[in-house]
Amino acid sequence: MDQQTQKALDQAFKGPRFERRIKRRNLVDKSWASSISIGGVGVIFSVLLIMFFLVYVVAPLFASAKVEVRGDYALPGASQGQTLFYGMDEYKETAMRITDQGDLIGFEVKDGSLLNQNQLPLNGATITSFAKVNEKEKILAFGLSDGRLLLAKYGYEVGYPNNVRTIYPELSYPFGEDGLELADQPITQVAARVNDSQLVLVYQLAGQDGVEIRQYDKVESMLSEEVALEEYDRGQIAYSGALDWVKLGGYMRNLYLVSKSGLAQYYDISKAGLPELLQTVHLVPEGKEITSLNFLLGEYSLMVGTDDGRILQWFPVRDQQNEFSLQPIRSFDVKGDVVNFVGIEHGRKGFVTLDDANQLNLFHSTAERNLASVQFSSPLRYAEVASRGNGALVETAAGQIYVLDIDNEHPDVSFSSLWGKVWYEGYGSPEYIWQSSSASTDFEPKFSMVPLTFGTIKAAFYAMLFAVPIAVMAAIYTAFFMEGKARQSVKPAIELIEALPTVILGFLAGLWLAPYMETHLAGFFAILLVLPIGILLFGFSWSKLPEPIRLLVPTGQRALLMLPVVILLGWFALSMSGPIEHAFFNGDMRHWLTFNAGIDFDQRNALVIGFAMGFALIPTIFSVSEDAIYNVPSYLVNGSLALGASGWQTLVGVVLPTASPGIFSAIMLGFGRGIGETMIVLMASGNTPLMDASLFQGMRTLSANLAVEMPEAEVYSSHYRVLFLSGLILFIFTFVLNTLAEVVRERMRRKYGSL
């Protein structure tokens, strides 16, 4: 190279223009590198922010309750007898106290100042027994010394003295101020229940061993709208010995006669004239005594306080013979040796206890949680929880009232209630149950995550069982055996399926595929047998054709000949559904499965989900797997063929091991999408939260449950936060699954990377 040429090159690469070009290029490179870094950090930050938000919403579920003493003051009307009942309005502004002298004392909760005082219309009699009749309707029953039963309804009247809103407690008498004349002797024990049409009374008279049962119809006058009672049935139960509690269940059927020794007789009084003794049982261990007895919300569970510092929960359980028996369900321990009092929450399955260690304990029965404890300096006698569970009044034996503020938003959620079997009222055994709402006011939400998680995995499993063999086998053939022109048409066509909205697939699966599959169930199972055999026979027949005929179709395009064959075989199998059912299943396969094989069949089941969601997963798995196989280096394939290996040997020994990390990634990617799929399972699964792996049963997934219930959930309620917990579980599950997949993929890549 001469000097002039060298000089020109030096000027071209070292001149000002060249330096500006290099600087500009470096600036562009740094800009793109910074943009990519910022984007990556932004993605990580966004994911962490989403996770932080989910944790922020879910965390209060597991926070302990907080109880604070807001104030104390002398017992209003302290000289007027012993307290029978406390009531408090829902705003914690006004409370009432009813004593055994028949006095109603209304006072302000904050400082105990008196609002009003009234006297029950006892007409010279005294109160000899007391019972709560209906928590929802706020009705109380007072047994009197002259044999009358007085039914009173308490409430709160709003007034505006001096333009200041004031709430006054008041009593009304829905069945008259004279009460019901039952006998001439004092009523020593009483239990009563009332609903829209009926009143049931159970009572014991002084000097009598047995108890009386009376049932009344409520008759409303069309003119005055007054309600009269008409007795239509009565009965009697003989009972000897001490009777300390008479408890009548909320359904007016279950009657319990209980003594302090723990002996309980359980009766069915649905027919008052013919009461049936169902069981005699000891509610406490031998040598122990009952010190307090109360119903839990709903009047179904008995909460038994004992003299050894425990609270035992009992409720009736139905066995396989449709017979009920009282069974012990749970046990709770308190600090003291004796449980003096058991009070209930009015809106949840929670309760409070007072013990001889001067301690108040706040529990939730189903969650089996001791939520909070408060220590006092003097003995405690009575506790009343506010209707919203956000406060309480505690009366001491020294004549003081303590006002408590309670922060206890989510007592019904615990790790055991979310992930363990729970024995709910009305169930025969502990089970995993998801049931978040009901029309009943005493309904207990059931928030088990297990059936939803199980349903999520079940749906993804059956979808993958359908999609993986088809997608991977199709990818192998398309990438390794199919010629280039055919591949350029087939691959985009399959990937185009992914553009179909899943809501359309779910719509078709729920409204067309599910009923069609139900009527042609035998045909769908026949496909599993007919299709493989038919394909093998066609392949064998093709191999026997003369070579000139076979050469008319290029080798890489012969798979296209299978399309009409597969369609024809599928049509044949489905058309044989009727004859198969008549030959083997008495004309109806679904009926045969249910009544002969004992297999329940739902129209929208896992089989429908397997076909519909599996169809949606095929393009994802196929595309990634096909790319992994097609991108295996050609020198590996050519080297194997050059050494004498056949195409299948090269595929099995070289191509698949080298592409296995990519194939594994494709499968895990499809599984991850199946876990998060919403619309298909929402529309085609039946949304039944069952713990059943059967192919013929539906399921409810975490994502579908979110879509169904989130619009109806009360913001910041336990239901709302548990739904966010479902999202957090999906998030964690996907994160763990992807991390595990990446670890396995890297190990496989290192293992087969040296090929």
In CATH terms, the superfamily for domain 67-81+300-422 is YVTN repeat-like/Quinoprotein amine dehydrogenase (2.130.10.10)
Residue by residue, DSSP assigns 328-368 as: EEEEEE-SSSSEEEEEE-SSSSEEEEEETTSEEEEEETTTT
Provide the pLDDT for residue 224. 65
449-454: long-range contacts (C-beta < 8 A, 24 or more apart)? 449/418, 449/419, 449/722, 449/725, 449/726, 449/729, 450/419, 450/691, 451/689, 451/690, 451/691, 451/699, 451/700, 452/689, 452/700, 452/701, 452/702, 452/705, 452/726, 453/702, 453/729, 454/691, 454/699
What CATH class does 454-752 carry?
mainly alpha
pLDDT at 223 (0 to 100): 65
Question: Tens digits of per-residue pLDDT, 665-697?
Answer: 899 889 988 998 889 999 998 888 988 888 899
pLDDT value at position 10?
60
Q: What pLDDT score does 594 carry?
A: 87
419: closest CA among 432, 435, 428? 432
CA distance 352 to 362: 5
Q: Where are the domains of the chain?
A: 67-81+300-422, 454-752
701 backbone φψ class: left, alpha, beta (φ>0; ψ -120 to 50): beta
What distance in Å separates the CA atoms of residue 583 and residue 576, rounded to the nearest whole number?
11
Task: Spell out, as residue ranges, where the chain has pLDDT lower than 70.
Answer: 1-15, 18, 79, 222-225, 439-442, 556, 752-755
pLDDT at 556: 67
Distance from C-alpha of 488 to C-alpha of 491, rounded to nearest angstrom? 6
Whole-prediction pTM: 0.87
Contact 110, 404 (CB under 8 A): no
